[in-house]
Amino acid sequence: MKNVDKIESFGYKQELKRSLSFWALLVYGVTFLNPTAPMNLYGIVVGPSGGMIALTFLFGAVAMYFTALSYSRMATEFPIAGSIYSYAQRSFNPYIGFVVGWTIMLDYVLLPAFLYLVAGLWLSQLIPIIPYWGWIIIVIAINTIISIIGIELTTKTNITILIFELIVIVLFVLAAFWSVYYKHIGSFNIKPFFDASKFHISTILSATSVAVMGYLGFDALSTLSEETKNPSKVMGKAIVATVIVMGALFVLENYMAASVWPNYNNFTNPNVAFYFIAQKAGGSWLRFLVFLAVIVSAITCALVTQTGFARLIYSMARDEMLPRFLAKVHPKYKTPYINSLLIALISIVASTSMSLDFITNLINFGALTAYLVIHLTVINYFVIRKKMTDAASLFKYLILPIIGFIIIFYVWLSLDKDAKILGFTWLILGIIYGAIVSKGYKKVPPALKV
């Protein structure tokens, strides 16, 4: 019986440094999902949700929980760096794996650009002497150096900034509670979870298709399997734990915000709604801390996104589905440094030439499409290929993935029309490119040759 924690058992060579524990992975996952995400999304989600923003984020957490379970199953079985690319490759075939990997690249390649653009725009407001594109270049340069030096430095950076973000969130929750309970600003009631007069499942699904942006990225944990100690034991647990922790945190933040400001229709600028809420809950000092936390979290989240995407490119390149030089590892730091530099270049171009709406639409298409496929890989691998058809296995590897697929599918249907058009265009380009590099989808990656 092969030891699945030995990368050699999958036809690869151990090149990346193993240093991550369960807790390091959890910190990475929480940082990736961004604890302050509701502060960015609140104003554009609360209206479409009919004020039921806590329910919307709870629904998103449930959808992501089932998807996290499927990622957990495959990460335990295949603790290698390619995430959904590797899982689809091993469950179906290398060509489906490539197409799926190409699709989720929309998420990985554009999410850093999105975050760098957010950071640049807000930093230019704080210190306008430097234009937003100048701030973007500065932040990308710093993050790229950290990403190249190594995952251990990335983890230490994550912990420091995560502590600051959590302190700001705790201060906001305490200030909001004090304002509502003692100063009678706003009110505590069930409406952020359920308002019978406004509840429609289509409304919640539509709002969830936007709110789900806050949950995108937990899957990036699986790209670190080859840098994790005992990945078959801890990776799956870390993925599920990340979704549970962040779901609870997001729901709490949104409920307290809705309680402070029940009339969600009277924001003068919905894009910065949370800042008005922070001002109302705690005054200027809290508003400033929230402002700072959003900037810091965007920079940190961009760092972990850049780190995860570099590993996805590395995995596809060593299978010769992308140019081979992208599989190069730094001789000293043991990181895919060329990929980090490439992502930095792409991020500079995208973040200085595209709008936030344009980037967001493509990110959601790539991620949600991949989330649909992960459920199918579980069903195909465990039920069809391994023929695990006893009652317990069918519940674990068939029923739960089907539930997850249905939920994600309905959220996917609610995506913006332009996102689907652009997303399918990217997908078609990937199919054409894959056919070229695989000589008509006949060339098999070296690690999969018998």
Angle at 116 between CA 111 and CA 119, to 5 degrees: 130
More confident residue, 442 or 188: 188
What is the DSSP annotation of 38-71?
Answer: HHHHHHHHTTTTTT-HHHHHHHHHHHHHHHHHHH
Q: Is residue 11 a part of any domain in this protein?
A: no
Give residue 161's pLDDT band: very low, low, confident or very high (50, 70, 90). Answer: confident
Closest residue by Cα to residue 384 from 394, 374, 370, 392: 394
Q: Read off the tokens for 77.
A: 């079985």
Q: Is residue 248 a part of any domain in this protein?
A: yes
- Mean pLDDT across the stretch 227-247? 86
Percent of the chain topping pLDDT 90: 22
Q: Is residue 10 a part of any domain in this protein?
A: no
CATH number for position 338: 1.20.1740.10
Q: What is the pLDDT of residue 450?
A: 44
- Mean pLDDT across the stretch 433-449? 72
- Mean pLDDT across the stretch 95-105? 84
Q: What is the pLDDT of residue 315?
A: 74
Q: Is residue 295 a part of any domain in this protein?
A: yes
Residue-number span of the structural domain to which 233 is assigned: 17-448
User: CA 377 to CA 217: how far, in whole Å?
Assistant: 19
> pTM of the prediction?
0.78
Q: Is residue 393 a part of any domain in this protein?
A: yes
- Mean pLDDT across the stretch 73-83? 79
More confident residue, 351 or 358: 351
- Mean pLDDT across the stretch 268-280? 81
Q: Is residue 6 a part of any domain in this protein?
A: no
Residue 91 has pLDDT above 80, yes or no: yes
Q: Read off the tokens for 239.
A: 């993925």
More confident residue, 406 or 326: 406
Residue 96 has pLDDT above 80, yes or no: yes
- Mean pLDDT across the stretch 151-168? 75
Tens-place pLDDT, residues 105-156: 787 778 888 888 878 877 877 788 888 889 889 988 888 887 777 655 556 6
Residue 5 has pLDDT above 60, yes or no: no
Residue 1 has pLDDT above 50, yes or no: no
The single-letter DSSP state of residue 228 is: B
67 contacts 212 by C-beta, under 8 angstroms: no
Q: Is residue 8 a part of any domain in this protein?
A: no
Tens-place pLDDT, residues 373-424: 999 999 999 999 999 999 999 999 999 999 999 988 988 887 778 878 888 9
Q: Is residue 3 a part of any domain in this protein?
A: no
Sign of the dihedral through C-alpha 409, 239, 94, 308: positive
Angle between helices 53-77 and 37-45 (to 10 degrees): 130
Q: Read off the tokens for 224.
A: 């670190």
Percent of the chain topping pLDDT 70: 90
How many domains does one find in the chain? Answer: 1
Give residue 286's pLDDT band: very low, low, confident or very high (50, 70, 90). Answer: very high
Give residue 158's pLDDT band: very low, low, confident or very high (50, 70, 90). Answer: low
